[in-house]
Amino acid sequence: MGERVLIALGGNAMTASDGSASPGDQRRAVEGAMGHVAALLAAGHQVVLTHGNGPQVGNLMLKNQLAAGVVPPVPLDWCGAQTQATIGTLVLNALEGRAAVVVTRTLVDPADPAFADPVKPIGRYVTEDEVRRFEGLGQTWRRFERGWRRVVASPEPLQILDAPAVAALMTAGFVVVAAGGGGVPVVRTPAGRLAGIEAVVDKDLAAALLARTVRAAILVIATDVPCAATGFGTPAARPIGAVTAAGLRRLQAAGHFAGGSMGPKVEAALRFVEHGGDRAVITSLEGIGAAVAGETGTVVRK
């Protein structure tokens, strides 16, 4: 019996995290992942896709900076929209006529506390001299161990605004690619209009919201490790297999999942299952098929 599966493809699993992956590398990574998706379709499953875009957005921002004297830099939400189109196009080619891409906006609250305290690092590391110039443009930059990096707000996703279009295309039989990069963040202005905003919605949290919105049975979060682990990065590291939501909440509270990487995946898996999703699986791109079959990854159930 086919199930409705939402698969979130990790940005770092599709590119090098430093943004160095060539277009050919990215195309091959998407083609590889779509091989697994095609197998799921052949088995009768219905698939919705979303994807990260961190390295890709970082590259677009760098181009903005380097070309600022020649062409006007575009806002961060425009960069996000561009990555939905480019990654979506790779999926369209790989799935030949079976897919559709929806440029997707995610509604956020302009009063979200994240705007007062931007913590999400984006783009590349730069030198202190360069930072002074960018701060003059109103950007927030922070010093990390490896150098200075721009930080932006990562507000909570409230609503996947284009979910009705996603649902219509799903009903028509398409594999829909939606909410790439967490969706293009927009706010409702005091005048009642929708406007883009300089922010980044976490793609894992947006994936969980999209999965709930389209009533997926299974959320697969595909990244570059086969499962979540306790004691990650230490000699005591242990893979987590089947786990209840309550058990995973306890491990989360004990600090096993790093913020900005595994943390949001675990939170997304928990939110999905706690709101009625059947199961969430955290695994690698290669593990997508086995994850849907229930044979691999960190499997979270109520």
Interface mask toward ligand ADP for 167-206; x: CB under 6 A? ----------------------------------------
How far apart CA 26 and CA 14 sit, in angstroms, is 6
265 is catalytic: yes
Q: Which residues contact 294 (CB under 8 A, 6 or more apart)?
A: 279
262 binds ligand ADP (CB under 6 A): yes
Interface mask toward ligand ADP for 1-40; x: CB under 6 A? ---------xxxx---------------------------
CB atoms within 10 A of CB 196: 16
219 binds ligand ADP (CB under 6 A): no
Q: Which is nearer to ligand ADP, 169 or 222 (CB)?
A: 222
80 binds ligand ADP (CB under 6 A): no
Helices (H) and strands (E) in the chain, counts: 10, 17
Contact 80/139 with Cβ under 8 angstroms? no
How far apart CA 255 and CA 230 sit, in angstroms, is 9
11 is catalytic: yes
Q: How far is the CB of 44 from ligand ADP (least distance, A)?
A: 27
- DSSP per residue over 47-91, as a string? EEEEE--HHHHHHHHHHHHHTTTTS----HHHHHHHHHHHHHHHH
68 binds ligand ADP (CB under 6 A): no
182 is catalytic: no
63 is catalytic: no
Radius of gyration of the chain (CA): 19
228 binds ligand ADP (CB under 6 A): yes
* Residues linked to residue 50 through DSSP beta bridges, in sequence order: 8
203 is catalytic: yes
CB atoms within 10 A of CB 251: 16
246 binds ligand ADP (CB under 6 A): no
Q: Which is nearer to ligand ADP, 150 or 203 (CB)?
A: 203
From 53, 180, 183, 265, active-site residue = 265
* Interface contacts to ligand ADP, rule CB under 6 A: 10-13, 52, 223-225, 228-229, 232, 256-258, 261-262
